[in-house]
Amino acid sequence: MKVAVIGLGYVGLTTALLMDKAGYEVTGCDISQERLDSIWMHKMPFHEPGLDEYMQDHDMFVSNDIEMTIKNADVILVTVGTPSNNDGSINLQYVFDAMKEIGRHLDSQKVQLVMLKSTCVPRTSEACIILLEQYSGLNHGHHFGFVMSPEFLREGSAVEDTLHPDKVVIGFKYDFEGELAMDFYAGFLSNWGLPDILAMTNYINAEFIKYTNNAFLATKISFINEIATICEQNPGADVTTIARAIGMDKRIGPHFLNAGLGYGGSCFPKDVSALINVAENAEVEPAILKEVHATNISQRHWPIEKIRERFGEGMHDIKVAVLGMAFKPNTDDVRDSPAYDIVDILEQYDVIVNIYDPIVKHCEGLDSKFCESVDEALTGADCVIIATEWDEFKTITPETFIKLMKRPIVLDGRRIYNPMKMIKAGIEYYGIGFGRY
């Protein structure tokens, strides 16, 4: 099968490399020449565990010749970004630009399938099909097929998630489109054929499924964060114990109940905002979604409030170590990272900040120093904020904090330490959702 992939970011590049490995003839296209050069030279343009080995020996073509790429393909995947506009609505410009380009070059001599995998608000598929027809002069359902098949991979585990998805959603209108899409997935998913992983539906449900999925996970996180805030006002209460126990209830499940500095990244924040916007445009008040978003934002202020309470006016003279800059472990992605906002606020208070992250070594827009090691960041600090739960931070001992820091004050924003062990060892420990005695 010949596949064109338009947009070689986290989703597009991961899918392209895994399809290449499965024997598909893959051509990748991107508007960033730098990205194309990097892939051409077998160099990963971003950090994603396990993907590098596929990058080393891939046979995929990369091209900025979109005409040739489209004309040759049986299936054309669209995996371009869908960022937020300033008002929280979705920016579909990259998707629409890609559809226009594809429309210009569709081959009238064969029936090609356009598969939209980018996260797009309800009714985007309809708009894409209109553009494809306008720019090609061909008819949907007769000359070409279109499916909406959203992606559910997570950064940091993109390879595993792509090969073994919990589900495959295919939104289609004509039977032949659904069948072509199933053939496409059957050729490269390791767990294809398992019962219950396939959701075949119409376009609008496929679009809604993606948003509902992300919004529900975001809701779980904000919910447990609200419980965490209540726990902190009740000495002896600990949200991690509570989350673990409620997670044993099969109706709740154990995942996405880690209290902390809230969700970040390029997906949950923008998708919750876009769904709020969709609701408001339909004159529906999305009360729950708005609270999910508001709770998430307030979590980022947790360490700032703790510092303000602890140091008062003196906070302007302190030195703070921030461990972690990526929005979650095992990625170098800092898009909408809670750590970024925390450092940004501290900088506004003229606090000296030393940052350490195992992978992120620089961040546009921040002036603070990036250190080479945990030890360098901790040395002489008045307090440390755990902003991302990298494994490397979990093994730091109380003795290290005490030895290196000016004052061993630990603000555990990801609940990676045992509070009682820390306190017994002489650490002034504050953890999200831990009610101090």
Number of H helices, E strands in the chain: 18, 14
- Shortest approach of ligand UGA to residue 291 CB, angstroms? 16
Closer by beta carbon to ligand UGA, 9 or else 380? 9
Closer by beta carbon to ligand NAD, 32 or else 202? 32
β-strand partners of 340: none
Told to check if 265 binds ligand UGA by CB under 6 A, we report: yes
- Shortest approach of ligand UGA to residue 262 CB, angstroms? 6
Q: What ranges make up the beta strands (E) of 13-98?
A: 25-29, 61-63, 75-78
CA dist 412 → 283, 368, 395, 416 (Å)? 40, 20, 13, 7
Measured from the Cβ of residue 179, the count of other Cβ atoms closer than 10 Å reads 15
> What track of x and - describes contact with ligand NAD for positions 66 through 85 (by CB under 6 A)?
-------------xxxx---
Q: Which of 4, 36, 75, 98 binds ligand NAD (CB under 6 A)?
A: 98
Told to check if 212 binds ligand NAD by CB under 6 A, we report: no
Could you say which of ligand UGA, ligand NAD, none residue 81 binds, taking C-beta under 5 to 8 angstroms by partner kind?
ligand NAD
Burial 89-128 (b: 16+ CB within 10 A, else e): bbebebbeebbebbbebbbeeebbbbbbbbbbbbebbeeb
Q: Is 120 an annotated catalytic residue?
A: no
- Shortest approach of ligand NAD to residue 63 CB, angstroms? 10
Could you say which of ligand UGA, ligand NAD, none residue 32 binds, taking C-beta under 5 to 8 angstroms by partner kind?
ligand NAD
Told to check if 358 binds ligand UGA by CB under 6 A, we report: no
Provide the token pair at 356. Answer: 């350490």
> Residue 203 and residue 125: Cα distance in Å, rounded?
6
> Residue 175 and residue 302: Cα distance in Å, rounded?
52
Q: Yes or no: say if 159 and 14 are a contact pair by the CB < 8 Å rule.
A: yes
Contact region with ligand NAD (CB under 6 A), list: 91-99, 168-176, 346-354, 410-418: 91-99
Closer by beta carbon to ligand NAD, 119 or else 337? 119
* 231, 267, 371, 383: the active-site residue: 267
Told to check if 293 binds ligand UGA by CB under 6 A, we report: no
Told to check if 257 binds ligand UGA by CB under 6 A, we report: yes
Which residues, other chains included, contact 77 with Cβ-Cβ below 8 Å and sequence gap of 6+?
3, 4, 5, 6, 12, 15, 16, 115, 117
Closer by beta carbon to ligand UGA, 29 or else 259? 259
> What track of x and - describes contact with ligand NAD for positions 145 through 184 (by CB under 6 A)?
------x-xxx-----------------------------
> Residue 411 and residue 399: Cα distance in Å, rounded?
16
